[in-house]
Amino acid sequence: MLDGVREAVKKFLRSSADYETSVNLFIKELQKTLIKSDVNVKLVLQLTKRIRERALKERPPPGASRRDWFVKIVYEELANLFGGDKEPELKPPKVPWVIMMVGVQGSGKTTTAGKLARFYKVRGYRVALVAADTYRPGAKDQLRQLAERAKVLFYTEPGDDAVGIAKRGVEWAKSQGAEIIIVDTAGRHKNEAELLKEMKEMSEAIKPDEVMLVIDASIGQQAKALAEAFHKTTPIGSIVVTKLDGTAKGGGALSAVAVTGATIKFVGTGEKLEELEPFKPKKFVARILGLGDLEGLLERLKGLEEADKLEEISQKVLEKGDITLKDLYYQIVSVKKMGSLKKLLQMLPGVGLALNDKVLGQVDDKVLDKWLAILNSMTLEELEKPNIIDRSRMRRIAIGSGTSVKDVEELLKHYQMTRKMIRQLKRKRGMLNKLMEKFEL
Ligand code: GDP
């Protein structure tokens, strides 16, 4: 599904039409793709309305193009669709917690059951795996081996009474004090109806706290029908998207999310037992947007935004002709957010550079960390009126910031130097202005 989105983004970035026309074109294509993939129409309209509003209102920081900024907006809004900054709750709300895994054969269900077992085991839970896939030969043995490797409890029985095995397995696991019980189920049967019937019976027998749907990232459009069929039989509580390591796709998962209302909890990123990651919406969207250098782009934009803020602070400082410790503090915070000082030196234009050369040019990133700690340990009053900082205050600040009195002294010395420099600059500017007035320049 998101192939369409990816294409639209590419087209947008290449387009020679004016910005607003390109935005409108992109939005039309986005709507078409999402609606075609059965994403809820209302959801699509809300999403594109927000994108459009932001696209026309927001101004990128100097140095960034509007088109790059637009990609960032699309990325953020799509990520919101998947949950944004919210990350799913992985801690079971109660114990014992019974998870029933469902999904078609080959999706990675058994492997994921093993991975999940390990995930919770290393977080201190007593975990049990129950093998109730009686249809695929070897599925029980595969899970037994995974259970051994993850060092968790294991239950199965010979024969093909899948529902009975699941029921007795869950009871046994409870009697062993298991806190998380994971039941692996069949992914294929004589036909689909048989499979769904078995899932329904099993779910009625074991009453799972959570039904987890396993979807292979590469199945694309089919994800919707699949999720819908399972959801009708056994309401899906959460989703795992597997094999994200092998494909740049995974968009089908969005349809699965849309039809079930369930959230994606984990993603599988390899065959190994530890290759299971809690789902992070932003990372996922970056992947399906397929822009290889999206991260680089976002980082660059972030840098430019910070540079812009820093420039603004520096400009104010120069206009005032004075600097407070608070200004210094904000400057350092800004620099830290941008990454390293070196980067800053490359980015800061004009005034910032002049300021920066002398003021920050002699210090390295470690010193900045120290200064930040020191400034964080000062009271607001001290930040505004550094003159009140006597020896005893210095001692308190040093202790509070895990530094020494000498460090605090150094920072204050540096600050005084900066201040002197800024005042001189202001005077020079004043003189220059007067000269210019005189010669009517
Ligand atoms: P099941 O039939 O759904 O139980 O599927 P299996 O657990 O047997 O997995 C099918 C195949 O997919 C196996 O070869 C697994 O090693 C592989 N697999 C499962 N999850 C992942 C994953 O996240 N990444 C990769 N690369 N392979 C996976």
Domains for the chain: give ranges and CATH numbers.
2-81 (1.20.120.140), 97-289 (3.40.50.300), 295-438 (1.10.260.30)
pLDDT at 2: 59
* Residue 299 confidence (pLDDT): 73
Angle value at C-alpha 264, between 262 and 267, nearest 5 degrees:
155
Element (H, E) at 95: none
Considering only CA atoms, which residue is closest to atom 28 of ligand 1?
271
**Beta carbons of 100 and 206 less than 8 angstroms apart:** yes
Measured from the CB, is residue 114 less than 6 Å from ligand 1? no
Half-sphere exposure of 358 (CA within 13 A, CB side): 13
**Ligand 1 atom with the shortest distance to the CA of 184:** 4
**Confidence tier at 290 by pLDDT (50, 70, 90):** low
Strand partners, 215: 241
Q: What is the mean pLDDT of residues 1-8?
A: 72
Q: How many residues does the chain have?
A: 441
Q: Ligand 1, closest atom to CA 104?
A: 3
Q: Report helix, strand or coil for 88.
A: coil
Q: With a 6 A CB cut-off, is 274 part of the ligand 1 pocket?
A: no
pLDDT score for 302: 77
Mean pLDDT of 275-303: 74
- 23: which strand partners? none
Counting runs of H as helices and runs of E as strands, what totals does the chain give? 19, 8
Which comes out higher in pLDDT, residue 323 or 159? 159
Distance CA 382, CA 375 (A): 9
| Residue-wise burial string across 91-110, b where 16 or more C-beta atoms lie within 10 A, e elsewhere | ebeeebbbbbbbbbbebbbb
Whole-number pLDDT of residue 287: 66
pLDDT of residue 8: 84
Pocket lining: 370 vs ligand 1, CB cutoff 6 Å: no
Residue 348 has pLDDT above 50, yes or no: no
Section 241-264 average pLDDT:
74
- Using CA positions, which residue lies closest to atom 5 of ligand 1? 108
Q: Is 107 in the pocket of ligand 1 (CB under 6 A)?
A: yes
Q: Which residue has the higher pLDDT, 31 or 363?
A: 31
The answer to whether residue 173 scores a pLDDT higher than 70 is yes
Q: Listing from the earlier edge strand, what are the strands of the sheet with 238-242?
A: 153-155, 127-132, 180-185, 97-102, 210-216, 238-242, 263-268, 276-278
> Can you give the pLDDT at residue 225?
82
Cα–ligand 1 centroid distance for 107 (angstroms) = 6
If one compares 254 and 180, the residue with the highest pLDDT of the two is: 180
**409 alpha carbon to ligand 1 midpoint, in Å?**
60
Ligand 1 pocket residue status of 33, Cβ below 6 Å: no
The conformation of residue 97, written as its DSSP 8-state character, comes to E
pLDDT at position 247: 62
CA of 220 relative to ligand 1 center, distance in Å: 17
> Cα–Cα distance between 60 and 70 in angstroms, integer?
9
**How large a percentage of the chain has pLDDT more than 90?**
43
Q: Which amino acid is at 344?
A: L
User: In this predicted structure, what is the pLDDT of residue 440?
Assistant: 55
Please give the pLDDT value at position 354. Answer: 41
Residue showing tokens 């002709």: 321
Looking at residue 355, its pLDDT comes to 44
Q: Which residues of 216-241 are buried (b: 16+ CB within 10 A; e: fewer)?
A: bbbbbeebbebbbbbbebbebbbbbb
pLDDT at 330: 78
In this structure, of 305-314, 344-353, 419-428, 431-440, the range with the lowest mean pLDDT score is 344-353
Is the pLDDT reported for residue 1 higher than 70? no
Interatomic CA distance for residues 67 and 105, integer angstroms:
43
Write down the pLDDT at residue 39: 67
The closest-lying atom of ligand 1 relative to the alpha carbon of residue 242 is 23
In this predicted model, which residue has the larger pLDDT, 255 or 95?
95
Ligand 1 centre and the CA of 393: distance in Å?
62
Query: Where is mean pLDDT largest: 138-152, 294-308, 412-426?
Result: 138-152
Q: Indicate if ligand 1 lies below 6 Å from the C-beta of 185.
A: no
- Using the atom order of ligand 1, give the atom closest to the CA of residue 133: 4
Residue 52, C-beta contacts closer than 8 angstroms, at least 6 positions apart: 23, 24, 27
User: What do you get for the CA distance between the two ends of the chain, in Å?
Assistant: 62
Residue 82 backbone phi and psi in degrees, to 5? -90, 5
